[in-house]
Structure formats: structure tokens, C-alpha cells
Structure 1
């Protein structure tokens, strides 16, 4: 279980769950990446009471159980087609670096397996994969993501970034720590030909229950990114 090896992330998640559980809730929820609306901005909450929608210029995309089945870099044709549609969307078509894959496996360490996965994704999708510092895996790599987008002329404003992934404890919390928007893939990765096959692990399923209790039982909602 990769999450168990990321002890700092586990500690941070537990701290939020106890003291500020709303921060573990996503701004929007979709079943899988295939359901992501395009463009994204009109679908997000307003930044103020006047209905001002955020301007989105950058997308952080998770790999395991979002773009690919867990612990693989195998790409299904339907997901490749979805990535092409995302790349062609006006929000991301102006800069080749506006979509960044950020994974706690591919590109997360100098290990040959992790580097091979990153290179495979870059070759097949034409998207960059963040090379993470081993001590700054999700949800702690926000500064590295912000630097990447700044250095490549995409954006310097975290409110113009949306994070899409299947985990509350890494992807949604990463967005919260960055001051960005989060979109949660509730069902993780699914094969359209076999949608009943569930690739979620124990922690993912527990997060599902947590989200339902927080929203339905306690009426919690995700806090908006801070307006500066």
C-alpha cells in the first residue's frame, strides 16, 4: 500500500480529518476522468457572491487509478482520447506545459521503474511528468508544481490551477495546500468495457465513506481557494 509508505501525508491527513475535515472535500466530483466537463471553469464554484468564475490555465493530473489502472502505465484508448480533448480545450491549448502529470509512482523517484513509467507516459501522451523530490511527494509537492507552471509561462496564480485525482488524502489535499481547485474522481479508473471492475483499495473506499458522512451527515463543503 503506497500510502502507508508516505507517513508525513498520513499524519497531515489525520490532522485535517480531526481539526478541519472540510479541507479534505473536493470542490467538484466526477465518476471518472472520462466524465470531466470541458471547459472546466464554468463548472467550478464562484469565487465571490457575484458569480465570478475562476480562470483556469493549468491542470494537474494524477496517474494511478485516475489516468491508468493502479501501479501501471497502461493507457486505455478511451483515456487517450479524453486527454486529446483536454489538450484541445481552450483552457489548455495555448501552452504545451499547461497539463502536468503528478504521480507518487511515475517520476516520484530516480528508481528505474518510476522513471520508465514517466518516460512511457510522456512518449505516449506528449504530456510532461513532474520529477518529484523523494521527500516532497503528494500532497507536499505544491511548491514544485507552482514553480513548474511559473517557469514555463503557464501561470503564477494557484487559483488558476485545478487538480484532478482519485484520492482525498493526496490529490484533494494537494489542491488545498496549494490554494487551488480540486476535482475528485470518486470511482477511480474504470474500463468502459467492464465498468463494474473496481480498482480502489481500502483507503480509497474509506475516503468514499468519509466524504459521504461529511457532506450528508454534517453538511460540510470544500473551502474555496483564498482570494489574494
Structure 2
């Protein structure tokens, strides 16, 4: 169970726009590289120095620790554009309490060549751990949450975490496999409801709490 998501969902009562992305793409293969190209030039160019990737149903088949083969080239582009600690995988399976011995995280790192965050609290509650990782890694140059972009297929975890963190968000609308769960349908319906009523994603700003 994701207690963090369950608790943070109540924030949407006060501020429903927290689950709205700054950019939406069809699949992982449609991700622009560098990511700054996906956010337009309004308010000036975006200084994206680091990127967070969700794993399950974003670039990998759920519960698999390998890159979905059709996405291999795109993943390599990201590694080249954001080398070293500038690219980070944050999963709600590998690297969490569901992976107590870290074997899944170790395997994912081996298969992707990218660091996997070990975090005690699941998304969207691990934003401080993500920010600290980038700030403490001298090769990233990250000094503010607005220099980070978060990519994922879930509005109530990945996108909401980005907005709570003060970062940029990219919503992958169609994952590796078609999701028909109640929560996925709820997210999509809520998204459409908000867009019809003129809501938009909040501007990134440092609101880490």
C-alpha cells in the first residue's frame, strides 16, 4: 500500500491543480531531449539540469527491471544528455521498502546504467530525498527544484510530486502496457474535468516541505 499517496491525495481538495502536468506526451519515445524543449519559451528558456524517471509502465514493463526494448534508443539519448548523477530513477517498487535487500534496485542499475534512488517513503512523499540527491551530487549543478524535471505515467504520484517539489513534470499518457485499474481511470477523468474548467499546472517554485 502507498500510504504517502493516500495521505497526499487530500491536498487535491485544497489545490486540485497539483496533479496537472506541465507537459504531456503519448509514450516514453515522444519525450523531447533535452527536456527543456517540451516546456515552451514562455517566461524564458527552462534550465533543466537533472531528470527523474519513473520506472513501471514509463520506460519498463511493470515489475520488470529492464528497459522496454522499443525505448532503448530514447533511454540512451537521455543518458547522453543527462550524464552521471543528472539522471535518476525513482520507482515505487525498486529501491523502496518493497525491495528491502535492494536486489531489484541493484539489478535495475545494472541493466540501465542509471542510479536508482533508495527511499523510505514512496512517491509523492520522497521529494526531499530526491532534491538532496541532486544537490549533494556535485556533477548535477542543481541548486533549485525548478532545475529538475520529473517524468512518469501517474498523475497522483509522479506529477503531483513534481508540483509539490516545485519542479517540472512530464506526464506519459500511454504506458508500456494499457492500464485499466480504477485509479488510472480516476486520474484520467479528474484530469479531463480540471482541463475543461480551465485549471493549469502551477508554475515551478521552491515549495519543498
The aligned residue for residue 183 of structure 2 is 203
The aligned residue for residue 125 of structure 1 is 112
The aligned residue for residue 195 of structure 1 is none
Q: 4+ residue runs of structure 1 moved beyond 4 angstroms? A: none
User: Are 2:39 and 1:44 equivalent residues in the alignment?
Assistant: yes
The aligned residue for residue 69 of structure 2 is 77
Q: Provide Cα deviations, 1:100-147, integer angstroms capped at 9, x if missing partner.
A: 0001100012735x72221111111100000011xx211111111111
CA root-mean-square deviation: 1.9
The aligned residue for residue 3 of structure 2 is 7
User: Are 2:209 and 1:224 equivalent residues in the alignment?
Assistant: no
5+ residue gaps, structure 2, are none
Counterpart among 61, 73, 87 of residue 99 in structure 1: 87
5+ residue gaps, structure 1, are 191-197
- Residue 55 of structure 2 contacts residue 91 of structure 2 at CA under 8 Å; is this kept in 1? yes
Counterpart among 197, 201, 214 of residue 194 in structure 2: 214
Normalising by structure 1, we get a TM-score of: 0.83
Normalising by structure 2, we get a TM-score of: 0.91
- The offset of 1:201, in angstroms, is 2.4
- Residue 180 of structure 1 contacts residue 225 of structure 1 at CA under 8 Å; is this kept in 2? yes
Q: Provide Cα deviations, 1:64-98, integer angstroms capped at 9, x if missing partner.
A: 11121222224322222211011122xx14xx110
Counterpart among 151, 157, 170 of residue 183 in structure 1: 170
Change in 2 beyond 3 A, CA 1:132/1:213 = same
